[in-house]
Amino acid sequence: METRSDAPTKSRALPMARSMCWHCQSEVTGEYLCGQCVKVQPLSKELDYFACFQLPRHLNVDEQQLERTFYELSRTFHPDFYSTKDDTEQTISLGNSAFLNTAYRTLKDPIQRAEYLIRLEAGAVKDIRSNPPGDLFEEILELQEDVETYQDMVQQGPSPESEQLREKLQQERIHLEERQAAMESALREKFHDWDRLQSEAEASNRHREEKTMVLREMQEILSNRTYVRSILTDLVETIGN
């Protein structure tokens, strides 16, 4: 696991919804507990998941670090600790916890993390729609036909033909799983490209174009993966494990 120089420090400064404590009206600048009255403060609606964990918008994430931060913040916001507090504090802790859980779930999974990052960055990148993979579509439709044929055969009762087709589908399944794995490692490769571009302090057009390109490529891999996964799910449901 790579170490990061910009690792979050102990004193956190999260973007909060307000600059003033909802309770005692004293100024709060990024503390999630008011410095004066120690009441919990609501997280900003604009807070993105990376910022919530005080991570740069990189795709290779130190998962241990992520987990540690999650536990730390969970302890701060968990509704259990607010059961004796007033309604407002309970509501805030519930809202913050829910946000935190979603953020953690999203960032923990590399695929969801990439999808989320693309969504976040998509504002800067119009029309990120990828090229339709024609060959893949044809393959999927053919495979689906085989799946349907097999389903019909099984209804008639097992036969040598249905066994043969099952064998074929089993092979296809292995093939698709390999393909999905290959897509995922291709995506991981792009993570490095993205992170490299993100850590370069450059604002040229060329740099922006490069970033857009990487986002597009990732989007394309993710789309293709969705197609493969979708037919794979059907296949597994049909032939069983």
Partner 1 sequence: MAYSDKVVDHYNNPRNVGSFKKEEEGVGTGIVGAPECGDVMKLQIKVENETIVDAKFKTFGCGSAIASSSLATEWLKGKSVQDAQKIKNTDIVQELNLPPVKIHCSVLAEDAIKAALGDYQKKAEEKKIGKEGAATGS
Residues that bind partner 1 (CB under 8 A): 129-130, 132-134, 137-138, 140-141, 144-145, 219, 222-223, 226-231, 234
By the 8 A CB rule, do 14 and 30 touch? yes
Cα Rg, the chain, nearest whole Å? 24
Shortest distance, CB of residue 112 to partner 1, whole angstroms? Answer: 14
Cβ closer to partner 1: 162 or 223? 223
Q: What is residue 74's DSSP assignment? A: H
Nearest-approach distance from CB 68 to partner 1, in angstroms:
33
CB of 52 vs partner 1, minimal distance in Å: 25
Q: Which is nearer to partner 1, 13 or 182 (CB)?
A: 182
CA distance 58 to 103: 15
Asked if residue 125 lies in contact with residue 215, where contact means CB atoms within 8 angstroms, the answer is: yes
Tell whether the torsion through CA atoms of 129, 127, 183 and 240 is positive or negative. Answer: negative
Given the complex with partner 1, which of 90 and 130 has the nearer CB atom?
A: 130
* Residues 100 and 110 sit within 8 Å (Cβ to Cβ): no
Q: Which is nearer to partner 1, 184 or 234 (CB)?
A: 234
CB of 193 to partner 1, least distance (A): 21
Strand partners, 20: 27
Q: Which CB, 105 or 119, lies closer to partner 1? A: 119
Nearest approach in angstroms of CB 130 to partner 1 is: 7
Q: Which of 59, 55, 53, 60 is nearest to 215 (CA)?
A: 59
- Which residues are 43's β-sheet partners? 16
We find the least distance from the C-beta atom of residue 117 to partner 1, in angstroms, to be: 16
Structural tokens at position 160:
């040598």
Are the beta carbons of 53 and 107 closer than 8 angstroms?
Answer: yes
What's the closest the beta carbon of residue 137 comes to partner 1, in angstroms? 5
Closer residue to partner 1 in complex, CB, 81/227: 227
Output the CA angle 109-110-114, nearest 5 degrees. Answer: 115
Instruction: Considering the complex, state which of residue 43 and residue 231 has its C-beta at the smaller distance from partner 1.
Output: 231
Q: How far apart are CA 111 and CA 182, in angstroms?
A: 13
